[in-house]
Amino acid sequence: MVVLAKPAALEQISLLRTPEPWETLSGVPAVDLSGPDAAGHVVRACERLGFFSVVNHGVPAGVVDRLEAEAVRFFASAQADKDASGPADPFGYGSKRIGRNGDMGWLEYLLLAIDRDALSDSMACPAASSALREAINEYVVAMRWLARTVLEMVAEGLGVSPRGALADMVTGDDAASDQVFRLNHYPPCPLPLPPSCSVTGFGEHTDPQLVSILRSNGAAGLQVALHDDGGRWVSVPPNRDAFFVNVGDSLQVLTNGRLKSVRHRVVAGSGLKSRVSMIYFGGPPLAQRIAPLPQLLQAGHGSLPLYREFTWGEYKKAAYRSRLGDNRLAPFEEP
Ligand code: GA4
């Protein structure tokens, strides 16, 4: 973080020193879902980075394009209309404020609860047109399927049985899973920034859930921290055709730390094009117990559990009391 005088609208948003240009992550692991040994590739990417892209995913381009167009339309609507669906607590329309504990970013967003395979009825959201709601519902069905496929591959690649052991926590038939959907809009920062500085769009954090699936309009800004290189930040080259998958904290715990949740953030700059992203967060039911899977402890991936058991509800509650950048797993680590 840089301590320099900032224009008033940026006052509470941290600035990042920009090593020009940000180093780009060469070789984001790209998993071809229809290719041989996809499960092995998924597991290796989750172990190394906690992050990978998915190609040949079979999600129709129209489903993504429709949602992107509706999201752009929503964010372009009058501020007073958007504000009528806010402030986000945690759901609804939010601008600059993230969570409840003072985190700020240069973005606006819509955060929504998903019931099974559609927007929750509890999401009043007057500013969301019926076209936007329909586009979200159609998109979420595709994301549930993709999350299921990825989690089945994780189980297969790790030798966990049944194959649906992890997937059922998020997409099982009876599971009242805790799915969240987020549309983010990062406008270019129009204010003068100090030299070599970018503004924080969404501050660094890990996602608390099992998996998150991210898609963007192809604008730059996403960065990930490399586990195997002291947490060095690298930019992720945008790819309009791929989905990006993040390992979340809960999957790290279930796999006893073998798969790593990835720290990531979004930076915004004055020159960057406006970024729109759509993110599906796959969480389990609130009562779901999260603890290292016995099968993995027995399989010699470290015989001692690194984390104590908690329920997703407990973890979520703790997450909402934390700051974005906190290490939320630390209090659950076994001594
Ligand atoms: C990070 C992942 C998801 O975007 C999110 C975020 C949530 C929010 O924006 O309300 C949190 C953040 C996220 C983790 C810590 C708490 C809660 C903001 C925040 C400071 C929707 C989620 O589930 O956790």
Tens digits of per-residue pLDDT, 5-30? 566 667 788 888 766 567 888 878 99
Give pLDDT, residue 24: 82
One-letter amino acid for residue 272 of the chain: L
Q: pTM for the whole thing?
A: 0.95
Ligand 1 atom at minimal distance to the Cα of residue 111: 21
Tens digits of per-residue pLDDT, 258-290? 999 999 999 987 666 899 999 999 999 999 999
Give pLDDT, residue 121: 79
What is the percentage of the chain residues whose pLDDT exceeds 70?
A: 93
Model ipTM value: 0.99
pLDDT at 51 over 50: yes
Identify the residue whose C-alpha is closest to ligand 1 atom 10: 99
Pairing of strands 51-55, 30-32: parallel
Residues 92, 106: Cα–Cα separation, whole Å: 17
Quickly list DSSP for 33-48.
TTSTTHHHHHHHHHHH
Quickly list DSSP for 245-277.
EEE-HHHHHHTTTSS-PPPEEEEE-SSSPPEEE
Tens digits of per-residue pLDDT, 185-227? 999 887 778 777 888 999 999 999 999 999 999 999 999 999 8
Pocket lining for ligand 1, CB < 6 angstroms:
90, 98-99, 101, 103, 111, 180, 182, 205, 207-208, 281, 319-320, 322, 324
